[in-house]
Structure 1
Amino acid sequence: MGEGKFSKTQIDKLGERIKSETISEDDLRMLDQYRRSFADAHNHVISVIRGGLKLEPTGRLAKSTSSIREKLRRESIRLSQIQDIAGCRIVVPNLSAQDELVARLRNVFPQCSVIDRREKPSHGYRAVHVVVHALERHAEVQVRTVLQHKWAETSEKASDVIDPGIKYGSGPHAWSEPMLKLSQDISIIEEIEDKVEKYAKETMGPNFSILAQTVFEKHTDDIAKSKMFLRNKCDSLIMLLDAKRKQQG
């Protein structure tokens, strides 16, 4: 059945009630049943990724009640339209690996749509989301680079400890502005790395001079150091946030 034992209208009316401050026990049970109805689609997607792509995705089975409520309040969307009730995540080294994996996901999941948040970041959040339609449900596969994932983890932690609005472009400027700048720095370094790699593949060959090889290696080394610096910056922010959480009790 399309929405478990519930009609689309019932699901959307449930979504309207979820937006309110108080949710009845019946509504919580109904939402839980709806969330669990995505299990088969989620398991199918995980199975195909493991079997067909030989990868091990991570992540949750179903979006939490609080996350669903936040999304319904934040966006002009109905509960039946939310495409990431169920999802998983795959983290890859860089942009070229990200593009390659998205192409492979398109191949094994012909019935999918791709949302590229690298081109249009969501308040600093960058990733590629592949939304798979399977077994009358949607399941989202998040494909992130290591640095995109580090930034997302840092943003999530800052939202939990400092202010939930940080994830959505609000919250204290002392945190929201540096997080946005950090995201931009990550994007710049990853794009430079991608261009250097593509140029090397196109030009490197038997006639590639020693000087050109030296320049390429220097750029590659500088990029690796910059990526490590940005990764360490995320780790330092997470440590700071963990300390703040302990202080809060």
Structure 2
Amino acid sequence: MTDALGFYEHLTFNAPLSEARADALVGRLAAAAPSTVLDVGCGWGELLVRVGAACPEVSALGVDTEERHLERARSRAVELAVADRVRFENRPGDQLTEPADVVICIGSSHAFGDTAAEALVGLRKLVRPGGRLVLGEGTWEVRGPVEPELVWDDLVALPSVAGLVDVAVEAGLRPLWIETANEDELFAFESGYLADLEEWLVHHDDAAVRSRADEHRRRWLHGYRNAFGFAYLTLGVPALS
């Protein structure tokens, strides 16, 4: 591997999230008129800066522990002219204590526990009563042929969409909106992830990169493609609880 290789350059979001779904999600959050927004495990913060742009009065904070992601996030905030209201810090999510009106956690709930139930306990503490929690989480529901030897163990342990919603309700949250990534979004995400490697291989004979790309693609297309999914839940925290 070389430093010249791309670093998620072909992905807008570090999740299977289309522009249309992101716009709808941002619109629903903006309609709630939050004053404060927190993105836990924000990556390069694309969704957070869009929320900031849609909510002119909002103060937002994104935290992550990958500095290269945060550098990209800060540049994007400047590009959208929200850098005065949308900040990014290198901090672990489980060290946060100040609650916000809206909390976003997409693909980063593991910072709060090994299970969805444990994660929701930690995340709920960060949402003010009456606020919103946007949870993006992988799911596992077999829909076609799956070669088990090509599937990582942690994927098989993921909940179904229904199971994830049930856990959220049991945690005292209300499911305001339930949606899942469609096949186009999942294919775009996997292709975008692999694009850094494949673009490199067009111009370089690199055995290590080729092996990494081929192994990931094999596991995706022949292993988890017909079972792995991604759910986006917009959850309400009751004002009286």
Structure with more relative contact order (C-alpha pairs < 8 Å, separation 6 or more): 2
TM-score (norm 2): 0.28
The structure richer in helix per residue is: 1
Structure that is richer in strand per residue: 2
TM-score with structure 1 setting the length? 0.28
